[in-house]
Structure formats: C-alpha cells, structure tokens
Structure 1
Amino acid sequence: MVGQRQRQEYRLHELGDFLRTRRARLMPEAVGLPRGSRRKTPGLRRAEVAQMVGVSVDWYTWLEQGRPITPSTQVLERLVQTLRLDVNERTHLFLLAQQQPPPAQFLEPEIVSPALQHFLDQFGARPAFVSGRRWDILAWNDAGCALFGDYSQMTAPRERNTIWNIFTDPQARQFVVDWEEDARHLLAQFRSMYGRYPADAQLTELIHDLMLASPEFRAWWPDHEVQSGQEGRKALNHPQVGLLVFERLTFQVFDTPDLKVTVYTPLEEADTPRKLEQLLDQWHQHHGRQPHIPQAADNHPQAQRPEQDTVGLWLAQCGQRVEDAWVANSEVMTSYTNWCAAHGYTPKKAKGLSQALAAHGLEVGVRQWVYTGPGMRTKTRGVRGLRVHD
C-alpha cells in the first residue's frame, strides 16, 4: 500500500510539473490575451488557463499541485486545446491524469516522406514496401514491383491491400507456399493492429466485405487470434521463375507508427538471389528504367534534385526524435552541413533549415540556458524534441 501511494504521489507530481511547463511556454498573445506590463512570469497564468478550460482557479491550482483529483476526459481535452498540446503531449497528459491512453482522434492522412522513399530505394535487389494502418501498400521499391507486380498500375479499390488480396485473390493461393499457414499468421497480425483503431469506419467496412467474400476469413475471424510482428521465412511460387525463399522482416516507422516497412531478403535456397535479379532486370527493361544502385555516400556523391528533401534524409540518418530533448541550432547546423558535404548535397541556409525542420513536425526557435564555461551560462535558440548523433 505504501508503494502504491508513493507511485500515485509521483504520478500526480509529474502531472503538475508537466502542466506548469506547458503553461510557461505559451505566450498570452498566442491565445488572444494581452501581455500586459505587470506580467512577471513567462507564459500563461493559472487563472487564465482555468478560465479558458472552464474550471475554477482553485481546482486548476490543486491539479498543478498534485492533489488527488481525477479530471474528466472533457476537461483534459480542453486542456489539450488551451495549452496547444501535440499528439505525443496529449497521450502523455492522459496517461498521467487517467493512467490510460486518450480516446482515438481523427486519423491523420498517411504520408510517405521523401526520406522514407529514399530508404526503400537503398535496399536495391531486396523487395521492400511501406503499408499503412489498413494494410494498403503506400510506397515500394523497384524490386517490390518486380516480385509482387507494378504497384503504380494498381488503381482499382483494394488492389494494393495485402489482407484483401491474400483472402480474395485466387492467384494468391498459388503464389504463396503454405497459403493457409501464412494467411492465418497475417490475419492474427491484422487483428492485433485492428484493436488500435476500432472506430475506423474504413477498417470496419473492409472486415465486413472480407466476411462476405472469403469463407476462410469468415471462419477464422471469430477466433480472435492475435500476433505481433511479421518476420521469419517466406516462400513464394513465382509464375516466371518458380520457388523463391526469403527472410521477411517488418518494423514500424519511428515518427509515424501507423506506417510499417517490410523487407524481403533473398536467401540462398532455391537460387533465389539469381532468380530475383533476373526478375528485376526484366522489370527494368520492360519499363525502360535504369536500375537503382545504392552507393557508399562518402565515395560516390549524389546529384541533388531541386526537390530533394535533404533535411529529411539527414534526419533519417543523424536525428532521433526524443520527447522533451533539446539541441542548439549551432549543433544542428554543424551536423546537417557536415552530412551534406559527405553525401554531395548543397546544404540549405539557416532559415531554410529551420523551415524544413518545422515542416517535419519539430519545434524550432526554442530558447534554453546553456553553459559556456564554469559558472557562465547564456540563453540560445534550438530545436525541441530532437537529438543529433553522427
């Protein structure tokens, strides 16, 4: 009981600290309030937050003081709006206040960044693709098209949906070795993912249509089998080259956990690497394209396209999103320009870099104290939520 009470006190203390820091960073003019000449502390006052949320000043003060009160979901949502919290901060607030994640919000569009597409292209002869929350294929590389078909030409509804194809396409039963075992595994993984979006109308419609279209789906769905991860051996019976054997690995995108990257690494069994190269060569010849050859960046500088997202590529290799982390602008600029020089890119100037970082969802221009020597410190600007490494 003592340990439980201590954990409760710690959680409420963390909640109070979190609210104070979010309140302190929000300037009055950002919410339509006058700054005034007598304001001694940065950010909003408690009374101002309480008024906008619709609670008493005493009640909000108790919340920041870590008193044992449990705010309702409606009050927390008004706090999210008032304090301008982002998605991660909203989740953190609900976990501290109610010890459970917040209700599902409107699902954001699924967008594959240029950096992620570049990442797929670096796999060369290994088929790779990105799928979304409903298991639609959103992006791919050339090897993925050579193995599974030209995704860019698949325009019919659900033609690029993995779970729909595995259960409704007759050719899938011939293409996938041990179809039933593979289909059951995929269904269990799909079921695990579905639990995160129970209110998604399109997912509900997809499941309804699968129940009508596939006897196997209709029989297995009520079993409620769940499984995480998509990795292990994958055998395919390709109509042109015969048996192919891969090691399949799927992982989430850190910045956008709704997106998953799946990579098929050819194994030596059944002469798979040679057969896959043959399929890829045929695909390039048919489409009149040159193969994409990943190069060692230090030795083979790349020609920069005008639309190249160099900041996104640098973030993918040298940046790590860490909540509440902070890095000075000087460190960001040094790392970015060094990376561009090593990869043969022309770096953006400081203003362009800041704009690009903001477009990638980072908070720029955040002032913070830094130490310049023993007992000496100064305030400088930086980026919040980012950690930089070489």
Structure 2
Amino acid sequence: MNEVNMVSQRRQQDYRLQELGDFLRTRRARLTPEEVGLPRGSRRKTPGLRRAEVAQLVGVSVDWYTWLEQGRSITPSKQVLEHLVQTLRLDANERTHLFLLAQQQPPPALLRETEIVSPALQHFLDQFGTRPAFVSGRRWDILAWNDAGCAVFGDYRRMTTRERNTIWRIFTDPSSRQFVVDWEEDARQLLAQFRSMCGRYPGDAQLAELIHDLMLASPEFRAWWPDHEVRGGQEGWKTLNHPQVGYLVFERLTFQVFDTPDLKVTVYTPLEEANTPRKVEQLLEQWYLRVGQGPHPPQAVHHLPQTQRPGQDTVGWWLAACCQRVEGAWVANSDVMISYAHWCEAHGYIPKKAKGVSQSLAVHGLEISVNKRVVDDHRQRKMARGVRGLVIL
C-alpha cells in the first residue's frame, strides 16, 4: 500500500471516528436523567446525560466511553452498540447510522465510481408522462429527469452540477423559500435524510467539499448541521407554490435502483388538490413551447386518456400495431423510422427521435444496429444498419 492510500485511509478513519463521537454527544445531550430512570440531582449544570451515566447504563467503564466520544481508535462490539441504542433511545434510522459510523456494517466498496444512468432507466423516467420524475446519486445530484420534471422544477439541462444538487439548491437558492411551502420544515427533513446518507460514505472528498461549501453559503445549514439529526424515507405529500400556476400538491415516492443502490428514483404524482393535474399539464405544454416542440405536445395533452400522456411507450404500441417478431428477419433503420413516424402522426403523438427509438427497441428485447449489405435504389450494394428479428407489416 503506497503512502497516499495510507494517508487517505487515515483521514477517512479520523473523519468516521469524529462523526461517531459527535453523534453520541448530541444524542446524550437531548436526554434527561428522568427519561432513563436516573435521579436528576442538585448539582447538574449542563443539559442531558453525563458520560458517566451513559457508561453506567451501557455497562462499560467511564474511561472507555470517554475515549469513544473523543474519537479514539477503538471498535465497540455489536452488543455494546445495541446497549447504546437502548440507552440513548435511538430510532431505527439512528441505529443504522450508529452502526455504520462504528463500521459494524461495511460501506459500499466503490465510493468514487462514476454514476451512470442507463438508457433503460432513462426510458423508465420517460414513461411517467405528467408525473415529474428524476434520478439522484449518492451526493443528491440530479443525474437524469423527464420533461415533466423540467416543467415543474426548472430546466435541469441548463443548470450546473452544483445547481442540480437538491441540498445545495434548497439551502442556497433564494427562490426555493417561496417555491417550497413550509420551507424550514422541508429543509430540516431533507438535511436529516442527507446526514443519514452521509454516514454511508465517510471520507468521500466531494461530499466533504459540498458540506464545506454549504457551511459557508447557508446560515441555516451552518446552524443545523451540528445537530446530527438523521431520518429516513422520502415519502408523503409535497406542496409547492409555483410562480406560474400557484399551489401544486404531489404525492412523493423515492426508491432505490436494485442494480445500482446508490441511485434513487423520485416520482411526484399530481393529486387532485388545488387542481394540480391540470396545472402540471399546463406547465408541460408551456415547457414544450419553450423547447420548440409545438404548442400542444402531443395533441392537447389534457384531452388524452391517462395511458396516452407524453412519455408513454409509443414504440411499444407501434410494435404491437404494425410489426411482427420473426426470427432471423432484418429491417433497415430508415424503414423503422418511417413506419413509426407515420403511426405516431396518425394517432396524435410526437415521435421520439432516432436515439430514443433505438433505446426503446433494445428495452423490448430487439437487437439493434445490426449491419447488413443491401442494394439501394440505384442498384448499388452498400452496408446499412437495422433491427434484427422484426418485420414491418
């Protein structure tokens, strides 16, 4: 192991132990002796439990527990950690956070691997139509989104990486305080969830840089971060006050991607409150106007049934209506695009571009970009690309 790696590992270890000590101190400070069955006494000057009291309840020496809070390099057993959970009245999220900081559960092996959103995952986002959806990474950067996400939350395409970071945006963008109803409550909740996630990546340099910059940029972040609040879950209602259409009410759901658990998908489902579905459709129409896709994408979206909203699987519907799977068959890309475009026009949809069609065909299990020598209209032999296993009827 070279010297650089040894220094990096030592820094990660020091950071983890300091976080562990700070976490234990904040949990100890929020409890009263009465809550754990101890007498208050008359000489108590500081709030919370004393170190000696925690050590007594956990069943360890005062010196040993003091070393633990001081960030010394000691490894508590699982049994001691469970006693700490019970003594400090930790909930499920706090218990997980404690075990991660104490390295009783290993963090992911690759912390700095590039975060990639696959074509299949992007296609999945596009299926949500008028429901804003996006993918975020381990540092809460927005990595991918659908059109409804841009229409409601802003044009992610024109934002820098830092501006697309959820935590950075809510704490440093002045407009978020008007956009998010009950801003302080929402910001505190997101910060606690962010803190819980940070425990999984001790020593991540980019996370440390983000936290450092937030401490400088936001007085609220600077005041709340030392509290060590941790929470889990990102479900429930979300109310926004959009500058163009007023109040919007969504049901928010976040879930992990199974193959890439560092990635999370968040979907906002418009609820009937405040006429949210129609307002989102209006915002989506305005979005398509701004990006040059016509005034009514596709064909007056609010008049279409639920299964025909923008972003749905038009390629799959075209396959079912116009094509047949035949083993060994081959069809040129140009013929695919012509047939697909005609079908979309006939049914009132805006066709996907060639790249989107190719990605959708691959999702449907077809082999794409297959080269074949063909004869053109001038009887010249040439190589062309197409789709294998498909016949257009």
Shorter chain as normaliser: what TM range?
0.5 to 0.7
From 202, 209, 214, give the equivalent of 1:205.
209
> C-alpha distance in 1, partners of 2:145/2:139?
16
- CA change 1:165–1:102 in 2 (3 A) is closer
> C-alpha distance in 2, partners of 1:206/1:126?
29
> C-alpha distance in 1, partners of 2:141/2:220?
20
> C-alpha distance in 1, partners of 2:197/2:114?
17
Aligned length: 222
Q: Tell me which residue corresponds to 1:301.
A: 319
**What secondary structure, in the 3-state scheme, does the structure 2 residue paired with 1:111 have?**
coil
From 250, 255, 260, give the equivalent of 2:259.
255
- 1:60-79 to 2 correspondence within 5 Å? none
Higher relative CO (CA 8 A, sep ≥ 6), structure 1 or 2? 2
- CA change 1:167–1:309 in 2 (3 A) is same
- CA change 1:183–1:114 in 2 (3 A) is same
Letter in 2 for 1:264: Y
Q: Tell me which residue corresponds to 2:245.
A: 241
> C-alpha distance in 1, partners of 2:314/2:175?
39
The alignment-based identity, stated in percent, is 73
Letter in 1 for 2:264: K
> C-alpha distance in 1, partners of 2:355/2:184?
48
Letter in 2 for 1:183: A
1:193 Cα offset (Å): 0.7
> C-alpha distance in 2, partners of 1:267/1:306?
33
Q: Tell me which residue corresponds to 1:266.
A: 270
- Any unmatched runs of 5+ in structure 2? 1-102, 299-309, 321-335, 338-353, 371-393
1:243 Cα offset (Å): 0.4
Q: 8 Å contact 2:107–2:200 — kept in the other structure?
A: no
- CA change 1:103–1:110 in 2 (3 A) is closer
**What secondary structure, in the 3-state scheme, does the structure 2 residue paired with 1:129 have?**
strand
> How does the TM-score come out when normalised to structure 2?
0.52
1:222 Cα offset (Å): 1.1
From 131, 134, 138, give the equivalent of 2:136.
131
- CA change 1:107–1:268 in 2 (3 A) is same
From 143, 147, 161, give the equivalent of 1:142.
147
1:104 Cα offset (Å): 4.6
Q: 8 Å contact 2:362–2:368 — kept in the other structure?
A: no
Per-residue deviation, residues 282-307 of structure 1 (Å, max 9, x unmatched)? 10011112443414776432867468
Letter in 2 for 1:249: L
- CA change 1:139–1:102 in 2 (3 A) is closer
> C-alpha distance in 2, partners of 1:136/1:251?
15
Over the residues paired in the alignment, what is the CA RMSD in angstroms? 2.5
- CA change 1:102–1:200 in 2 (3 A) is closer
- 1:209-358 to 2 correspondence within 5 Å? 209-289=213-293, 290-291=297-298, 292-295=310-313, 299-301=317-319, 305=354, 308-309=358-359, 313=363, 340=365, 345=366
**What secondary structure, in the 3-state scheme, does the structure 2 residue paired with 1:189 have?**
helix
User: Is 2:176 the partner of 1:172?
Assistant: yes
Per-residue deviation, residues 16-71 of structure 1 (Å, max 9, x unmatched)? xxxxxxxxxxxxxxxxxxxxxxxxxxxxxxxxxxxxxxxxxxxxxxxxxxxxxxxx
> C-alpha distance in 1, partners of 2:361/2:115?
20
**What secondary structure, in the 3-state scheme, does the structure 1 residue paired with 2:319 have?**
coil
From 166, 169, 189, give the equivalent of 2:193.
189
Per-residue deviation, residues 303-342 of structure 1 (Å, max 9, x unmatched)? 67468346863xxxxxxxxxxxxxxxxxxxxxxxxx54xx
> C-alpha distance in 2, partners of 1:255/1:347?
23
1:346 Cα offset (Å): 5.2
Larger C-alpha radius of gyration, 1 or 2? 2
From 122, 125, 129, give the equivalent of 2:127.
122
> How does the TM-score come out when normalised to structure 1?
0.53
1:240 Cα offset (Å): 0.5
Letter in 1 for 2:231: Q
Letter in 1 for 2:204: D
- Any unmatched runs of 5+ in structure 1? 1-97, 314-338, 350-390
**What secondary structure, in the 3-state scheme, does the structure 2 residue paired with 1:108 have?**
coil
Per-residue deviation, residues 235-292 of structure 1 (Å, max 9, x unmatched)? 0000000000000011111111111111000000000000000000010011112443
Per-residue deviation, residues 181-215 of structure 1 (Å, max 9, x unmatched)? 10011001101110111110110011111111111
Q: 8 Å contact 2:315–2:360 — kept in the other structure?
A: no
Q: 8 Å contact 1:168–1:214 — kept in the other structure?
A: yes
